[in-house]
Amino acid sequence: MPGAERIALVTGASAGIGVYTALGLARAGFRVIMAGRDAARIERASRIVAERAGAGAVETALADFASLAAVRRLAEEVLARHEYLDVHLKNGGLIARRRLLSEDGYELTIAVNHLAPFLLTNLLLDRLRASAPSRIVTVASQSHRGARLDLATLAAPPDWTPLKAYGRSKLCNILFTRALAKRLEGSGVVATALHPGLIATKIGDTAGSVAGWGWRVVKPFLTTPDKGAETSVFLAAVPDATPFHGAYVIDKKIAEPDPAARDDALAERLWQESARLVGL
């Protein structure tokens, strides 16, 4: 059963939106598990949150989402540390500069941005159900618009570019949330996906020569990471998140995603293929 202290797990918490998401949740009264892949960076980020929100507001965990084994270790660690979990907030992601493979042999962008969060959520799902009312919040992106999935080549797309791979992974985030929400109906666990805005983080710096150059040019004019965290914090902390169950949210309001992201049959096929790829 949930305890007096609310617990939130935030992945991708070592920089950018993730730091401000952790800070916002800590200020809202959560004890935040800040997860990242680099020990030095996550420690620095946790110190920022602790200094601004209180020393007892944060703890850290390590996991490289390019490794499904590391994701399993993270789940085991979180489950061992805490008897309940109020919020699972998936913020981590990347745009790869060149085509790379994960430790498991999958295209890196889909592995880090979709398969790893898919696996982690499923490994934590029983604990989240037992902790209801609880939340699962996934940071997606408007970059999903126009993306299309060929599930036969999900982990090894033949038409790879940095932005195509990123857009497909964000489409997967929304479809996964849609399929997850159906599975959680009546459980007290609310699952939502969101677009944080076009945020001035480092994620676009590695988007290839032309796209990366364009990103660096426009970045000074984009929304700051603290503003980008606002919708994530809102969905995690709002007293009643039920109206947002299964929804795609922009600026704290329900929005319509691309038609491909509303395809329930595709969402279910994606779930089954993702489960196969991660070994569930």
Closest CA to 225 of 4, 15, 78, 11: 15
- Residue 166 in tokens: 């990123």
Question: Domain ranges in the chain?
Answer: 6-197+227-278
Here the tokens at position 57 are 């507001």
According to the model, what pLDDT value does residue 171 have? Answer: 98
CATH superfamily of domain region 6-197+227-278: NAD(P)-binding Rossmann-like Domain (3.40.50.720)
Which residues are identified as catalytic? 166
Enumerate the H helices of the chain as residue ranges: 16-27, 39-53, 68-81, 108-110, 116-130, 162-183, 209-218, 225-228, 230-237, 264-278
According to the model, what pLDDT value does residue 222 have? 52
33 forms beta bridges with 9, 59
DSSP characters over 82-99: -S--SEEEE------SS-
Q: Do 172 and 183 form a contact (C-beta atoms < 8 A)?
A: no
Three-state DSSP class for 10?
strand
pLDDT at site 120: 98
- Closest-CA residue to 112 (of 139, 146, 85, 145): 139
Coil, helix or strand at residue 211: helix
pLDDT in tens, the chain (280 residues): 455 789 999 999 999 899 999 999 999 999 999 999 999 999 999 999 999 998 788 999 999 999 999 999 999 999 999 999 999 999 988 999 899 999 999 999 999 999 999 999 999 999 999 999 999 999 999 999 999 999 999 999 999 999 999 999 999 999 999 999 999 999 999 999 999 987 554 544 454 555 444 434 444 445 677 888 999 999 999 999 999 999 999 999 999 999 999 999 999 999 999 999 999 9
Helix, strand, or coil (residue 16)? helix
Burial track 158-185 (b if 16+ CB lie within 10 A, e otherwise): eebebbbbbbbbbbbbbbbbbbbbeebe
pLDDT value of position 218: 41
**pTM to 2 decimals?**
0.90
